[in-house]
C-alpha cells in the first residue's frame, strides 16, 4: 500500500487532463483541490505532520481524511496502535480507514504483536489476515478446529504465505487427514496449481505420496511426467495424473502429446470422461496449430469429448482451409447458443455465398447487418448498405442529479477523481452505487461523463438500452490531442480513438499485469524506444499516465506498427495486442487468406476479439467525428497490399437506424464483442497467451 500512495502522490502534482469541471458546482473549489494535492503529496512522501499546515482550512473538505491516512501509511512501520485506533474512531466506514486497518494489521503481524493484532482484528479482511489471526490464536496456545477455522480456507487452490504456519500447525495437530489432503489437492489440480499439489503431497500417507507427487509433476513438468508414466501403476490417482499431463502437454506440444497418448492410452484404464478430455485437448491444440489433420480430428471427436471450443475451432480450421462444404457442416454442428452468435451467423452467410446459395446468403447478411458490431458492419459492406446504428440520449433530471451530487460517497468519488486519485475514486464510486437501481447508476454515469470521467460511463452503460448511449460510451476527448497527434503520426484519428477505447476505456491510470500503462497501454520500454525513434522527450514510465504524453507516444507506436504491415489498421491492431513477431508468424503461415478469414484464424482468442473490437470502434468513432463512416472493409486490406489513408473526398457510408420492427428482431446495440476489463497486456509480445483464453 505504501508504494502505491507514493506513486499516486507524484501524479497528483500534474493537472488532471481528462475533462473540465462545470463552473459554479457545489463540490470542491480549484483552490481546495490545489491545496489538497500539495498536502497529499507531502503526507505521502514525508509522513509525519508537515502536511497539516498545508491542509489547514481543508478539514471540512470531503476527502480530507485521505491526507491523514496517506501520512499514517507512510509511517506504518513506526506507528503505535493508539494513533491508528484514533483515526479509525474518527473516520468510521471510510475506505482509507478500512485500508489503514488492513495494512496496520499486517504490520502488527510482522511485529508479532499478537495482542494488539487481536484487539484490532475484524473478520472478513481477506485470507492473509484470517491466517494471521489464526497465528495469533496459536501463539496463545489455542488449538485449531478444522470445521470452523480451516474449512473455508481449504477450498482455495492457493493461499498466501501467512497461511503456511497455520497449515503446518493443522498438520501437526493431526487435522490433515488423507481425505482432506486429497480434497484440496483436487481443487489445486483443477486450478493448475502444481506447487500447492507438491507441498500437500509430502504429507500424504506413504502409500499415496507417490501418486500425489506424480500429479504435481504432471502439472509442473508434463513432458517428463508422460515419459515416466510408463512405469506408474494403473491406479485411479495415477490415471488422474496421466490425464492432467497429457492435457497440459497438448497445450505446448500437440505432436508430442499425440505420441504419448498412443503409448499410454492402452496402458491405463482411463474413464470415458478422462479419455474424452485428453482427446479434446490434443485435437484442440492441433487445431490452433492448424495441423494438416486438425479438421478430421475435430470432426471425429466422440460427442462426449466435444465442447464449444472444439466445435468453434472446427469452423475456424475449415474457414482457414476455405473448405466451404466442411465449414457448413462445422457450422451446423455448433451448439444452439453458438449458432446465434453474430460471428457464426456472418460466416454462415459467407459460406453460403461461396457455395452459390446467394439468396440464403443475402438473407443471412441482412439479418447480421442490423447490428452495430464488427460482423454487422462487415455484413453491411457485403450488401453495400448503410450501417445500422441507433443512438439515443438520456433525459435530464436536475433534481435527482443534485441529490446524487450531495451523497457523501459520490461526492468523495468525484472529488478524488478531480484531484487525480482515480483508484480511490473508482472504489468510492463502486461503494456508493452498489445495489442501486439501473436508472440511478445511469444517471451517475452521465454525470461522470459530463465531468470528463469517461471510464465510469463506459463500464456502467454496458448493457441493455444503455448500449445506445454512444456519446457517453464513445467519448471524444479532443483536449488530449487525439486528432492532432494522429494526423502528425500519419494515422487515422478514428483508429487511434478506437485503440484507446479498447485498451483502457479512457482510464488514464490503467496498468496491466505486463506493466503496460495509461490510455494506450504502452510498456515503459516501448515508450522510451518510441520517444527515442521520434526525437521526443522521455520522462520515465510514470509519464505514460499523463494523457497527452501517452497519446503522443501511443500514436507514434501505432504508426510504427502500421508501417510494418503496409499501413493496414487491422493487422497493426493485431500486432499492437499480440506483438509484431507473433503476427509475422501468422502472416507467414496464412497470409494468402482474405482478411476476414485471417482474423477468424488468429489462434489467440484475446487478439481475435481485440481486432474485431477495434475495427468496429473505428467505425463508430468515424461516425462520431464525421457524421458517417468509411466502410470497415476498406480498412481490411489484403495482406501485401498497401492501405492508403482516406483523403478529403473519401466516400463514407451513411449511418441510419433500422425500422423498429427490424431493430426488435435483431437488437443492434452490442459493441462488436463482449468487452473485457481494460489493460489486458498489450503493446507487448503475447507469446504466453492461451489460444482458448
pLDDT digits (tens, 9 = 90+) for 442-481: 999 999 999 999 999 999 999 999 999 999 999 997 667 9
Please, which residues have CB within 8 angstroms of residue 120's CB and are 6 or more apart in sequence? Answer: 81, 84, 85, 101, 104, 105, 108
Q: What is the pLDDT averaged over residues 254-259?
A: 94
> Alpha-carbon distance 84 to 69, whole Å?
9
DSSP per position, 7-46: HHHHHHTSPP-S-PPPTT-SS--HHHHHHHHHHHHHHHHH
> Alpha-carbon distance 413 to 80, whole Å?
30
Using DSSP's 3-state secondary structure scheme, residue 629 falls into strand
> Alpha-carbon distance 69 to 206, whole Å?
52
pLDDT grade, residue 690 (50/70/90)? low
What pLDDT does residue 477 have?
A: 75
User: For every residue of 236-248, which 3-state class applies, written as one string?
Assistant: HHHHHHHHHHHHH
The cell numbers describing 70, all together, are: 496517506
pLDDT digits 0-9 by tens, 400-457: 999 999 999 999 999 999 999 999 999 999 999 999 999 999 999 999 999 999 999 9
pLDDT grade, residue 679 (50/70/90)? very low
pLDDT digits 0-9 by tens, 159-184: 999 999 999 999 999 999 999 999 99
The cell numbers describing 667, all together, are: 437488437
Please, which residues have CB within 8 angstroms of residue 495's CB and are 6 or more apart in sequence? Answer: 486, 558, 569, 573, 614, 618, 621, 635
First to last CA, the chain: 30
The cell numbers describing 308, all together, are: 464449444
What pLDDT does residue 32 have?
A: 96
- 2-150 fold: 70-kda Soluble Lytic Transglycosylase; domain 1 (1.25.20)
Structural contact between residues 100 and 88, judged by C-beta atoms closer than 8 angstroms: yes
What pLDDT does residue 479 have?
A: 65
Q: What is the pTM assigned to this prediction? A: 0.90
655-656 and 387-388 beta bridge pairing: parallel
CA atoms in the 13 A half-sphere facing the CB of 345: 22
What pLDDT does residue 659 have?
A: 72
Count the residues in the chain: 693
Among 6-20, 314-328, 508-522, whose mean pLDDT is lowest?
6-20
DSSP per position, 634-683: GGSPPTTSPP----TT---B-EEPPPHHHHHHS---S-SSPPPPS--S-S
Q: What is the pLDDT averaged over residues 375-386?
A: 97
Q: CA distances (Å), 129 to each of 76, 164, 386, 464, 652, in order?
A: 17, 12, 58, 40, 59
Structural contact between residues 538 and 527, judged by C-beta atoms closer than 8 angstroms: yes
Please, which residues have CB within 8 angstroms of residue 60's CB and are 6 or more apart in sequence? Answer: none
What pLDDT does residue 285 have?
A: 95
Among 225-234, 643-652, 681-690, whose mean pLDDT is lowest?
681-690
Residue 653 phi/psi, 5-degree rounding, is -90, 145
> Alpha-carbon distance 280 to 265, whole Å?
14
pLDDT grade, residue 148 (50/70/90)? very high
pLDDT of 1 strictly over 70: no
> Alpha-carbon distance 326 to 330, whole Å?
6
What pLDDT does residue 673 have?
A: 43
The cell numbers describing 368, all together, are: 447480421
Listed by start position, the domains of the chain span: 2-150, 478-665
Using DSSP's 3-state secondary structure scheme, residue 47 falls into coil
Using DSSP's 3-state secondary structure scheme, residue 334 falls into coil
pLDDT digits 0-9 by tens, 533-592: 999 999 999 999 999 999 999 999 999 999 999 999 999 999 999 999 999 999 999 999
Most distant CA atoms of the chain, gap in Å: 82
What pLDDT does residue 6 have?
A: 43
Average pLDDT score over the chain: 91
Using DSSP's 3-state secondary structure scheme, residue 517 falls into strand
pLDDT digits 0-9 by tens, 492-531: 999 999 999 999 999 999 999 999 999 999 999 999 999 9
Using DSSP's 3-state secondary structure scheme, residue 490 falls into coil
Sign of the alpha-carbon torsion through 335, 336, 339, 341: negative
pLDDT grade, residue 8 (50/70/90)? very low
Give the CA radius of gyration of the chain.
Answer: 29
CA atoms in the 13 A half-sphere facing the CB of 359: 0
> ∠680-684-685 over CA atoms, to 5°?
105
> Alpha-carbon distance 407 to 90, whole Å?
19
Structural contact between residues 465 and 392, judged by C-beta atoms closer than 8 angstroms: yes
What percent of the chain shows pLDDT beyond 70?
91
- 478-665 fold: Lysozyme (1.10.530)
What pLDDT does residue 675 have?
A: 53
pLDDT of 235 strictly over 60: yes
Instruction: Tell me the angle at which helices 569-578 and 547-564 cross, rounded to the nearest 10 degrees.
Output: 110
> Alpha-carbon distance 368 to 666, whole Å?
8
> Alpha-carbon distance 14 to 422, whole Å?
13
Beta strands (DSSP E) in 310-403 are: 387-388
Fold equal for 2-150 and 478-665: no
Amino acid at each position: 500500500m505504501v508504494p502505491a500512495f507514493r506513486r499516486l502522490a507524484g501524479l497528483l502534482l500534474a493537472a488532471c487532463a481528462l475533462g473540465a469541471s462545470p463552473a459554479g458546482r457545489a463540490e470542491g473549489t480549484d483552490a481546495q483541490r490545489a491545496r489538497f494535492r500539495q498536502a497529499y503529496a507531502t503526507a505521502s512522501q514525508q509522513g509525519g505532520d508537515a502536511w497539516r499546515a498545508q491542509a489547514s482550512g481543508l478539514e471540512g473538505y470531503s476527502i480530507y481524511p485521505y491526507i491523514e491516512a496517506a501520512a499514517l501509511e507512510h509511517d506504518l512501520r513506526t506507528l503505535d496502535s493508539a494513533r491508528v485506533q484514533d483515526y479509525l474512531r474518527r473516520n468510521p466506514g471510510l475506505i482509507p480507514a478500512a485500508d489503514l486497518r488492513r495494512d496496520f494489521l499486517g504490520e502488527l503481524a510482522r511485529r508479532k504483536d499478537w495482542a494488539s493484532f487481536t484487539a484490532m482484528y475484524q473478520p472478513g479482511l481477506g485470507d492473509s489476515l484470517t491466517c494471521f489471526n489464526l497465528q495469533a490464536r496459536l501463539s496463545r496456545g489455542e488449538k485449531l478446529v478444522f470445521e470452523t477455522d480451516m474449512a473455508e480456507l481449504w477450498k482455495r487452490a492457493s493461499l498466501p504465505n501467512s497461511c503456511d504456519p497455520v497449515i503446518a500447525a493443522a498438520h501437526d495437530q493431526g487435522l490433515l487427514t488423507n481425505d482432506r489432503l486429497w480434497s484440496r489437492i483436487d481443487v489445486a489440480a483443477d486450478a493448475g496449481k502444481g506447487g500447492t499439489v507438491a507441498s500437500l503431497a509430502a504429507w500424504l500417507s506413504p502409500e499415496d505420496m507417490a501418486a500425489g507427487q506424480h500429479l504435481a509433476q504432471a502439472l509442473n513438468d508434463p513432458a517428463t511426467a508422460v515419459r515416466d508414466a510408463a512405469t506408474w501403476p494403473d491406479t485411479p490417482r495415477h490415471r488422474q495424473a496421466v490425464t492432467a499431463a497429457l492435457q497440459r502437454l497438448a497445450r505446448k506440444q500437440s505432436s508430442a502429446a499425440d505420441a504419448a497418448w498412443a503409448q499410454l492410452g492402452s496402458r491405463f484404464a482411463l474413464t470415458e470422461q478422462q479419455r474424452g478430455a485428453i482427446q479434446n485437448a490434443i485435437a484442440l491444440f492441433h487445431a490452433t496449430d492448424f495441423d494438416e489433420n486438425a479438421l478430421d480430428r475435430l470432426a471425429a471427436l466422440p460427442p462426449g469429448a466435444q465442447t464449444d471450443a472444439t466445435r468453434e475451432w472446427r469452423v475456424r480450421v475449415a474457414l482457414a482451409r476455405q473448405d466451404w462444404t466442411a465449414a457448413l457442416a462445422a457450422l451446423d454442428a455448433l451448439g444452439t447458443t453458438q449458432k446465434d452468435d453474430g460471428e457464426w451467423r456472418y460466416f454462415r452467410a459467407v459460406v453460403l455465398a461461396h457455395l452459390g446459395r446467394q439468396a440464403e446468403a443475402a438473407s443471412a447478411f441482412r439479418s447480421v447487418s442490423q447490428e452495430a458490431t464488427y460482423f454487422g458492419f462487415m455484413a453491411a459492406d457485403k450488401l453495400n448498405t448503410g450501417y445500422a446504428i441507433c443512438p439515443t440520449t438520456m433525459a435530464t433530471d436536475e433534481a435527482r442529479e443534485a441529490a446524487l451530487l450531495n451523497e457523501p460517497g459520490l461526492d468523495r468519488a468525484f472529488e478524488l477523481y478531480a484531484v487525480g486519485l482515480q483508484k480511490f475514486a473508482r472504489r468510492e464510486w463502486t461503494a456508493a452505487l452498489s445495489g442501486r437501481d439501473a436508472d440511478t447508476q445511469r444517471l451517475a454515469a452521465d454525470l461522470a461523463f459530463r465531468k470528463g470521467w469517461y471510464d465510469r460511463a463506459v463500464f456502467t452503460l454496458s448493457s441493455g438500452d444503455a448500449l445506445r448511449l454512444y456519446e457517453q460510451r464513445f467519448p471524444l476527448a479532443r483536449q488530449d490531442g487525439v486528432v492532432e497527434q494522429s494526423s502528425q503520426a500519419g494515422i487515422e484519428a478514428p483508429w487511434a480513438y478506437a485503440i484507446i477505447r479498447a485498451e483502457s476505456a479512457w482510464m488514464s491510470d490503467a496498468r496491466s499485469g505486463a506493466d503496460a500503462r495509461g490510455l494506450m497501454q504502452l510498456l515503459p520500454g516501448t515508450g522510451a524506444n518510441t520517444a527515442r525513434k521520434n526525437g521526443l522527450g522521455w520522462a520515465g514510465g510514470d509519464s505514460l499516465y499523463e494523457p497527452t504524453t501517452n497519446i503522443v507516444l501511443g500514436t507514434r507506436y501505432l504508426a510504427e506498427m502500421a508501417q510494418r504491415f503496409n499501413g493496414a489498421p487491422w493487422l497493426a491492431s493485431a500486432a499492437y495486442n499480440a506483438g509484431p513477431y507473433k503476427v509475422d508468424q501468422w502472416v507467414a503461415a496464412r497470409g494468402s487468406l482474405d482478411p476476414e478469414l485471417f482474423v477468424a484464424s488468429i489462434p489467440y482468442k484475446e487478439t481475435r476479439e481485440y481486432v474485431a473490437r477495434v475495427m468496429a470502434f473505428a467505425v463508430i468513432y468515424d461516425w462520431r467525428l464525421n457524421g458517417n463512416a468509411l466502410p470497415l472493409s476498406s480498412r481490411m486490406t489484403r495482406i501485401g497490399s498497401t492501405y492508403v489513408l482516406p483523403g478529403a473526398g473519401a466516400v463514407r457510408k451513411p449511418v441510419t437506424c433500422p425500422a423498429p420492427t427490424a431493430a426488435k428482431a435483431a437488437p443492434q446495440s452490442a459493441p462488436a464483442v463482449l468487452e473485457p476489463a481494460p489493460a489486458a497486456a498489450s503493446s507487448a509480445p503475447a507469446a504466453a497467451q492461451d489460444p482458448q483464453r
